[in-house]
Structure 1
Amino acid sequence: MSGRLVAQELTADAFRPFGEVIEPDNASEIQLINGGSTTRFHDIAPVELGGGRALISIFRGKPFELPLKVEMLERHPLGSQAFVPLQGRPFLVVVAPDEDGRPGAPVAFLCDGSKGVSYAAGTWHHPLIALEEASDFLVVDRGGEGVNYEEAFFDEPYSLESSAR
């Protein structure tokens, strides 16, 4: 194994090098709309399309058990990719900085299910890691022409052994 990963709490500041946390506190502005019956938390995370079009999908993630072997990461160089949990269940996020076209040392975050994440275009990340039971996520990402998927395998896997819970 390459090393041990322990998930830290997902916060907007800690996650910012990789994208945005999707939560009301991350809004650029807050407005009352619809005659005051609705609060709009505006512009929480950019949607990067790189010349493509926005896709809205639902992903259903099967739960993983820890420890989890983190052997590979993927990225989408042409557009961002947002994951918003629909059932309030916890999930893990593993991301890494780019180092000359390959993922660097990964960082893990525990999301309690009350917020989502938006990976910036080109951010290395692990595929969806649901916990406890199968979980649905609203996903916004890019569709269109061009190669928007890359994956890279670590020489030695990392062990995601525990979380911040």
Structure 2
Amino acid sequence: MRLIAEPLTAEAFAPFGEVLAAPDAPGRVHIEGALANRRPHAKPTLYFTCKAPSALPLTSTTMERHLHSSQSFVPMDAGQWLVIVAPHAERGGPDMARARAFLARPDQGVTYGADVWHHPLTVIDRPARFATFMWKDGTPADDEFFEVAPFEVHLP
């Protein structure tokens, strides 16, 4: 399967979560969805990641989800990066026939909604640093990984 990355926009990404961006003028933007938690005993977790770039086209067989928590990625020092998502399949797991790939700018973050299938964080043009926020309780329910048929992501 081959996906062509499209520009990341709030409208296109809305079924999967929220696009995060700082305001253009002085002030604040509140993103309530970045804090979704379905387990009262889970604790907020903030961690920092440094990722090496992946070669394009990206080839992968892995998707993941966090059933009980949203997960937010906020670039701290990044170039372009990929956001790959898929809705649920009728028989469980991600529906890769309806998967979408987005190309995020360095000034855009995302919040994947709770229970949204997505590809692990992937940067493409240079090493990048991100702040990541999610809720965890330390059980296997924090993260679920799913092997899918190989797919490729290309830039337009």
Asked whether the equivalents of residues 23 and 44 of structure 1 are also in contact (C-alpha less than 8 Å), the reply is no
Q: Distance in 2 between matches of 1:42 and 1:128?
A: 23
Q: Paired residues, what number?
A: 149
2:37 to 36, 45, 49: 49
**Do residues 163 (structure 1) and 155 (structure 2) align?**
yes
TM-score using structure 2 length? 0.88
What's the Cα RMSD here? 1.7
- Specify which of 75, 81, 84 is matched with residue 91 of structure 1: 81
The aligned counterpart of 1:102 is: 93
**2:119 alignment partner, one of 126, 137, 148:** 126
TM-score, structure 1 as length reference:
0.83
Moved over 4 A (4+): none
Q: Residue 143 of structure 1 aligns with which residue?
A: 136
Work out which of the two has the higher radius of gyration on C-alpha atoms and give 1 or 2: 1
Aligned to 1:18: 16
* Structure 2 residue ranges without an equivalent (≥5): none
What secondary structure sits across from 1:41 in the alignment?
A: coil
Alpha-carbon offset, residue 113 of structure 1:
1.0
Tell me the residue number matched to 1:58: 48
Select the structure that is richer in strand. Answer: 1
